[in-house]
Amino acid sequence: MDGSNGILDVEDILNGDMEDRIAVLEKKVAQQDDEIVCLKTALADVVRRMSNLEGKRPGKFSPARPSHMVLPSKLNMSNGTPKKPIHNFPMAKRPSTPDHTKKITNSNSDLRRWASADGNSFPSPARRSSSLTNLSSPKPRNTGPPVSKEANYNKEEGFVKIYLRGRGITMYAPSSMPDYTISKGAQAPSQKLKLDWVYGYRGRDCRSNLHLLPTGEVIYFIAAVVVMYNVEEEMQRFYLGHTDDVKCIAIHPDKVTIATGQVAGHDRKSDAKKSPRTASAASSTSSSTEDAADDETDSTDIKCYVPHVRIWDSISLTTLRIIGIGEFERAVCCISFSKADGGSHLVAVDEANDHVLSVWEWNKGEKGTKLTETKSATEPVLAAEFHPMDHKQIISCGKSHISFWTIEDNRLTKKSGVFEKHDKPKYVTCLAFADNGDVISGDSNGNIFVWGKGNTRIHYAVPSAHEGPIFGLYVMKDGTLLSGGGKDRKLLAWDRRYIQKTDVEKELPEGTGPVRTITQGKDNQILIGTTKNAILQGSLTSDFYSIVQAHTDELWGLAVHPASRQFLTCSYDRHIILWDSSSHTQVWTKTIDDGCQSAGFHPSGTVIAIGTVTGRWLAIDAASRDLVTVHTDGNEQHDCMEYSPDGHYLAVGSHDNYIYVYAVSENGYKYNKVGRCNGHSSYITHLDWSADSQYIQSNSGDYEILFWSASTCRQVTSASSMRDIEWSSQHCTLGFSVCGIWQEGADGTDVNAVCRSHDKTVAVSGDDFGKVNLFKYPCCQPKSHSNSYSGHSSHVTCVRFLKDDSRLISTGGKDMSIMQWRLSS
C-alpha cells in the first residue's frame, strides 16, 4: 500500500472526527443559549408579578424602591450591610466612601476613573428604556461609543434638550428670552484667569523634589505645576508646561536649567479636537513668558499626554527641550543631570515593569539624543544619580538593590552592591555623595552605608542610625551629613567620620509627618519635605516651622466666606482648613473623626456646615472652631451642604438619593429637621437655593433636574413653572443657564463642578481632565467656547468665586492641590 495514501486516509478520519466534535459543541452552545433565554424570561416574569402585587406597573420607577435594577455580579456590602441596588442609568462620578486603610500610591492611577458608590459599571443609556420582558429576545450589545445627538430647541414649549450619552435632558428657558435660538455656541469671554497661588506640595510618594535656586526661590511641584516660591517676598512663579502629574525634578549644574518628568496623561480624544471650539488661554504668572510655555504645550498635540521629560529655563520659564516622547511607558520616576562634564547628559528611569534606565545627550538635536538604555531592575527604582566626580558612572537604588552603572562606548554595564555580612535591606531608599566621592546610602532598616568611590562594597557602616527607615540624606556645604527618619521623624547630623553630633537632634512635629527629602536653604537654613505634604524650614540650632502645608488625601470640600476673602477646604484626611486668600496662609485647622466630603458657610459667616463620608454632618463655629451641633442622616456621604440665602434653612444632599432639609435659627446655632426630599433615583450631586429661599433645584447622578419646596420638602413636578425663578447661585451643572458648558461627546460625568460669578458675567467649570474652563454667563448656547486652563492633574472637584469675584478657588481630587486664580479683564 502506498504510504502517502495511508497518511491521507488517517487525515480524512481525523478531519471527520473533528467536524463531528464541533457539531456536538455547537449543539450544546445552542441549548445553553436557549436555557439562558428561558431563565431571563422567567426572571422578567417574576419581577413583573412582584410589581403587580405591589400595585405598580412594570417598567415604572419608584424613587424609594425601584423596580428596574441592574443585578450586581456579587453582593455589594458596606459595613456588613447590603447596599441599595443601583439603577440602570449612566451615573455621574462621585467618589464612594473612602477606605482610609488603603494607601494612595499614584494619582495617575485608575483612581482617576473611579466608579460610583457601589463600584458597578453601567450599561449604555440606550438600554434604559428596555423592560425586563425584552430579555427573552436579546439584542447585540453596542460596545462602541454612544451616538452623539444634537441639542434642539422646542420654541412652542420654550425648552432646550441636550443629550448626554444618548439621554435627553430638558431645560426650560426663562420667559424673558422669547427670541432664543440655538446657535453654534457663544464666544469665549473677554475675562481671563491667571494662576495666582498654589497651595500644597507632593511629598507623600515623591523623593528629591525640593531644591533652592540661586534666585532664593524654593522649587518643588504639585499636580502638573512646578512652583518657584520666594518665601521672603511671598511670591510664587509657575512652570505650566506639563499635562499631568509631575513625578520628578533635577537641577542642572548651572542652577538655571531644570528637568522635570511626568506620568502618562489623560489622553482624552476630545483634547485633539477641542481647538475649533475652545479658545485655549495659557495660565500665567506675572511673567508673560509663561504663556509661551503653555502655547507650546497646546501645539504639541496629543503626544504630550505620554510620559516625557521637559527641560526648561527657570528664569524665562521657556521650554528648551521635550525629550522621550514615545520612549517611556508609565511615568518618569527618576531623573538626574551629570555634574562632572557640565551637565550635558541626563539619566531617566521609567516606572514601568522593566524600569528601563536611559541616558540622554539632552542638548543635542531638537528632541535630544538617546545614547543608550537598559532594563535596570525587576523591582521598583527609587533614585538614580550621576556621580558628581565621574560623568560615566551612575548609581541607582530601590527595592532590594543598589547598582553601580558604567557608561562605555554608549553601553551600560552594571555591578550590584555587595552587602556581605550586613543584612540586605528590603529597600535602599536614598543616596548622597561625600566630598571625597564616597557614595552614601540610607535604607529601610535605618542603616547608613558608605560605599568607597569606585567600589561596590561597603566601606563603612552606621547600623540602626534611625529607628525605622531613612528617607532622606543630604551633605551640607561644610561636609556635615544630615539624615532624616521616615518613622522616628528625627533629623540627625553626622561629621565627616560619620560620628553623630550628639548636640544636634531634631524631632519634627507629628502633624507635619516624617522626613521625605532634605536640602540646604539660604545660609545655614535647612529645608525639609515631609511625607504629609509639608515643607519645613529651620536650622540645626533653631526650630522648624511649616512654610507649605495643605491636605494629604482626596479633596472635595470647598466653601467661600460670604463676606471676606477667606475660604475653607476639607478632605478625606479629616482636616478642615480655613485659608486667607490675601496672605496665602492658614487661619486655623481642625481635625475631626471622619473624612470630609463637602462644606458650606452660613450667610452670616459665623458657622460652617461640614458633610462627612459616614452620613454624619456637623456645624462648627467659624471663629473658635467649637462644635455647634452634630446630626446623622443615613450612612452614606453627604455630597453638598447649602444654606439658604436668608440663613433659615440648610439643605444636605446625600449619596443615599435624599435631600435633608433643616430649619436654622439663632444665626446658625440651632437646627431642627423639616424633612427629606424624596424623588431622585440616584445620589445628589449639586444643589442651589432660590433667591427668596423658598425653592431648591437639584441634580443627581442620573442627570435629573428636580425642584422642591423647601418648607414642605415636596417636589414641584412642573419644571416649566420654575423657569422664571431667580437662583441665588449656580452650582448645579445641569440647567438652562449652563447648558453650554457641555461639549460634544460629553458623557455627563466629565463636569464635576460649576460656579457663576456674583456679578453674573462669567461661569467656570471644573472637569475630569484637570481643566478649569471659563465661560460667558449665561452660558445657554450648547457647545459654547471657553478659555481653558491647565494646572490640576486630577479631576477638578470644586470651583468657587470669592465674594468680590477677584479670585477663583479650584480644588483637585487625587492631586490634593488648591489653586487660586486671579480674574482679570
Least confident window among 22-31, 52-61, 124-133, 616-625: 124-133
Residue 212 is which amino acid?
L
CA separation for the pair 652, 684 (Å, rounded): 9
Q: How far is CA 490 from CA 454, 465, 471, in A?
A: 31, 10, 11
In this prediction, what percent of the chain has a pLDDT beyond 70? 78
Q: What is the mean pLDDT of the chain?
A: 84
Report the pLDDT value the prediction gives residue 181, as an integer from 0 to 100. 85
- pLDDT for residue 534 is more than 90: yes
Q: Check pLDDT > 70 for residue 339.
A: yes
According to the model, what pLDDT value does residue 26 have? Answer: 67
pLDDT of residue 16: 56
Cβ proximity of 243 and 790 under 8 Å: yes
Alpha-carbon distances of 214 from 233, 259, 261, 337, 647, rounded to whole Å: 15, 16, 22, 17, 52
Radius of gyration of the chain (CA): 30
pLDDT value of residue 41: 54
Of 151-165, 241-255, 395-409, the range with the lowest mean pLDDT is 151-165
The mean pLDDT value for 289-302 works out to 42
User: Distance between CA atoms of 166 and 150, rounded to whole angstroms?
Assistant: 10
Is pLDDT at 67 greater than 50 in this prediction? no
CA distance 651 to 670: 14
Residue 390 three-state SS: strand
Q: Are strands 279-280 and 787-789 parallel, antiparallel or unpaired?
A: parallel
Amino acid of residue 453? K
Range scoring the smallest mean pLDDT among 41-45, 297-301, 467-471: 297-301
Q: Is residue 309 predicted with pLDDT exceeding 60?
A: yes
Nine cell digits for residue 671:
437646627
Which residues are registered as beta bridge partners of 39?
none
Contacts of residue 421, Cβ cutoff 8 Å, sequence gap at least 6: none
Q: What is the spatial distance between Cα 463 and Cα 441, in angstroms, rounded to a whole number?
A: 12
**Per-residue model confidence (pLDDT) at position 21:** 72
pLDDT at 265: 79
pLDDT class for 535, splitting at 50, 70, 90?
Answer: very high
pLDDT of residue 91: 43
Angular region, 165: left φ>0, alpha ψ -120 to 50, beta rest:
left
Q: What is the pLDDT of residue 502?
A: 79
Q: In what order do the strands lie in the sheet with 235-239?
A: 211-212, 218-222, 225-230, 235-239
Q: Average pLDDT in the 148-155 region? A: 84
User: Residue 30 — pLDDT band, cuts 50, 70, 90?
Assistant: low
Secondary structure letter of residue 126 according to DSSP: G
Whole-angstrom distance, CA of residue 161 vs CA of residue 657: 24
Cα(88)–Cα(110) distance, integer angstroms? 23
pLDDT above 70: residue 101: no
Q: How far apart are CA 825 and CA 812, in angstroms?
A: 25
Q: What's the mean pLDDT in 298-322?
A: 83
CA-to-CA distance for 452 and 444, rounded, in angstroms? 21
The pLDDT assigned to 303 comes to 58
Helix or strand (DSSP H, E) at 611:
strand 607-612
Check: CB of residue 376 under 8 Å from CB of residue 367.
no
Does the pLDDT at position 214 exceed 60?
Answer: yes
C-alpha cell at 504: 544636634
Average pLDDT over residues 155-169: 90
The pLDDT of residue 63:
38
- Name the pLDDT band for 624 (thresholds 50, 70, 90): very high
pLDDT exceeds 90 at position 718: yes
Over range 85-107, report the average pLDDT: 42
CA distance 584 to 199: 8
Which residue stretches of 406-459 are H helix? Answer: none
Check whether 693 has a pLDDT greater than 90.
yes
**Looking at residue 69, what is its pLDDT?**
37
Question: What whole-number percentage of the chain has pLDDT above 90?
Answer: 72
Q: How far apart (Å, rounded) are the C-alpha atoms in residues 472 and 431?
A: 8
Dihedrals φ, ψ of 513, to 5°?
Answer: 90, 170
pLDDT of residue 406: 96
**Res. 109 pLDDT band, cuts 50 70 90:** very low
Q: Is 615 left (phi over 0), alpha (psi -120 to 50) or beta?
A: left
pLDDT exceeds 80 at position 712? yes
Would the pLDDT of 552 be above 60?
yes
Q: Is the pLDDT of residue 664 over 80?
A: yes
